[in-house]
Amino acid sequence: MNAPLTHSLDARYYTDPAIFENEMNGLLSRTWQFAGHVSQISNIGDYFAFDIAGQNLFCIRGRDNVIRTFYNVCQHRAHEMVSGSGNTRVVVCPYHQWTYELTGGLRAGPNIKNVPGFDREKICLTEVRSEDFHGFIFVNLNDDAAPMDDWYPGVRKEIASYVPQIDTLAPLEWVECPERCNWKVSVENYSECYHCPTNHPTFAEGVIKPETYDIQPDDKGGYVLRHTTECQSLDKMTYPIDLDANEHAGDYQSWFLWPMFSFQCYPGNVLNTYHWRAVDVDNCAVWRGWYTEGGVDSDVIRGLAVQDRQTTVEEDIVLVESVHRGLKSKGYRPGPLVLDPGCGVMSEHSIKKLQEWMREAVDG
């Protein structure tokens, strides 16, 4: 007897503003989200501001060299503390000049000494959980969240194997790619290669071998999808690689970390990343990152970034924006997923797992 078919999610999961608000206040506030790279705050007092789940935050390096993340709001009258990036000896609120140590504790404020009962020791910027994951800073607005190694079992060690130089890397460039679609449409598109052979000829013919492509959910119950494949034959590769450099020089591996980040190792141990930001129910931004040792310029990596932006990224934008428009069609009836028991590139078993996480986040 055949198993019942698994159908894709109803359109409302992507188009309903109430579901989007639910995600912003729930899922995206209690999961690990990418903030930035340690190279952005390499010196004591360096900081940068950013947004996660509708909240403005900033990361800063303390005098003890610890990187901390705080909500970007003064505890006095709620003015934002910093903007953009920079360096400071102390954090000073522009509104009334309340001054905080790099550890977040209140240091001073005009006339506070004359306020009866005022105890500055009890006032501190509100800190947010953060982790350094091979130089990539992730934050979680949920103080009780499990650590990243519990969420993504084994990934830290695996990435170090595929990208041995990862701890010396720094961003060469980040490219922002606005997409007129719900963030889940974009994440789903990234999380299957069923569409690759017909839609991404450069990637499928000049980087990887589609017939070897597979995507598997974590077998330990973690929130990670692993993409694996082999590189194309050297005469077809669109950039040079040294297959003798190490054991994974000829491999492609990607680790998608639910809900909005992916590490990718291209053949030749080239690290690149995707990170998503939800803008509203109909829009998201996807950032493509490319990295070199120390952030030193590289013609090969620059060329790869241009190739990727002009081919795979542009091709995907057309696809996801069409899907989002289609989800608003009154004629759409969610069809069955293609679940090949043998898995492989022409199967959507990874989408089945991804949509389970999506449904769980919304419906509990």
Q: What is the pLDDT of residues 161-192, one digit of tens each?
A: 999 999 999 999 999 999 999 999 999 999 98
**Confidence tier at 290 by pLDDT (50, 70, 90):** very high
- CATH classification code of 162-363: 3.90.380.10
Give CATH 3.90.380.10 domain extents, the chain: 162-363
**Confidence tier at 2 by pLDDT (50, 70, 90):** low
Q: Which of 177, 360, 200 is nearest to 276 (CA)?
A: 177
Neighbours of 220 (CB within 10 A): 10
Q: Which of 338, 346, 352 is nearest to 196 (CA)?
A: 346
Is the pLDDT at 346 greater than 90? The verdict is no
Q: What pLDDT, in 10s, does the model give residues 33-65?
A: 999 999 999 999 999 999 999 999 999 999 999
**Confidence tier at 207 by pLDDT (50, 70, 90):** low
Query: Starting from the edge strand earliest in sequence, which strands make up the sheet with 99-100, in order?
Result: 91-92, 99-100, 106-108
Q: Which letter, b or e, does each residue of 94-120 get, where b requires 16 or more Cβ atoms within 10 Å of its Cβ?
A: eeeebebbbbbebeebeeeeeeeeeeb
Give CATH 2.102.10.10 domain extents, the chain: 33-140
- CATH classification code of 33-140: 2.102.10.10
Q: Which of 253, 252, 202, 209 is nearest to 233 (CA)?
A: 209
Residue 272's pLDDT is: 93
**Confidence tier at 237 by pLDDT (50, 70, 90):** low
**Confidence tier at 235 by pLDDT (50, 70, 90):** low
Identity of the amino acid at 23: E
Percentage, residues of the chain above pLDDT 90: 75
pTM score, whole prediction: 0.93
Strand partners, 50: 57
Please give the sequence-ordered ranges of beta strands (E in DSSP) within the chain, or none if there are none: 33-37, 46-52, 55-61, 67-71, 85-87, 91-92, 99-100, 106-108, 127-133, 136-140, 169-179, 214-217, 224-230, 251-257, 261-266, 270-280, 283-293
